[in-house]
Homo-oligomer: A and B are copies of this chain.
């Protein structure tokens, strides 16, 4: 078998993206204001969670250290263990928060009625956009850091709840006869895998990371997805969606 296709194309979009990994922002004075609340912190749990997300955002999950985050808030390093039993509990809390945010973003795109291709496409874009705008949350949610079996109850509820929105949307579309009668669970897995794949490859910097281009790919994907699963699909989805280059 001969390899023929345009060899250049791969180098133009695989492993390219000039955006540098953002550096930790300079420490502001507020990071050490133990003067105002030397003891009982207002909402230390919340503050620790936010500081953890901030750290992941700037340095990556790998270099998140529980030792550093307490002191950065003007608190001892053991203080964190009053609010999170261990590192995986902290990550589970980040993931649960992420699933809740993702769920809200998806829900916001879905109209009461009628379900349309436009709304479906918007939901796909919303999914990918969430991942691009909150890569720290997304990577914790899907980076394999969490034990998928026995996590904390908060996470065990938030994950499925977010996914259910996708299932519900598909059921809505089926009821409106906008898509065929395939097993909705299988369809949901298919659609989920699609948006998840785009999201993951994007935040891993393996496809374009510019927001506009990502939306273009998401809309392209949604249109192809629709033409694939739609009834009389050849004409109901846009042939050449926005964002194509």
Contacts and interface: CB of A to CB of B under 8 A. Distances in A.
Nearest to A3: B168
A89 interface: no
Contact of A221 (B1, B190, B204): B190
A164 B233 contact: no
Number of copies: 2
Interface of A, secondary structure class, is: helix
Interface stretch (A41-49, A67-75, A192-200): A192-200
B148 A190 contact: no
A173 to B, nearest CB: 11
A142 interface: yes
Contact of A193 (B9, B62, B184, B201): B201
Contact of A148 (B6, B11, B204): B204
Interface in A1-20: 1-7, 9-15, 17
Given A14-B160, A148-B204, A200-B142, A233 B227 contact: yes
21 contacts: A1-B110, A4-B171, A5-B167, A6-B184, A10-B163, A11-B160, A15-B149, A62-B145, A139-B144, A142-B206, A148-B204, A149-B205, A186-B217, A186-B244, A189-B217, A192-B197, A194-B197, A196-B200, A197-B200, A227-B229, A228-B229
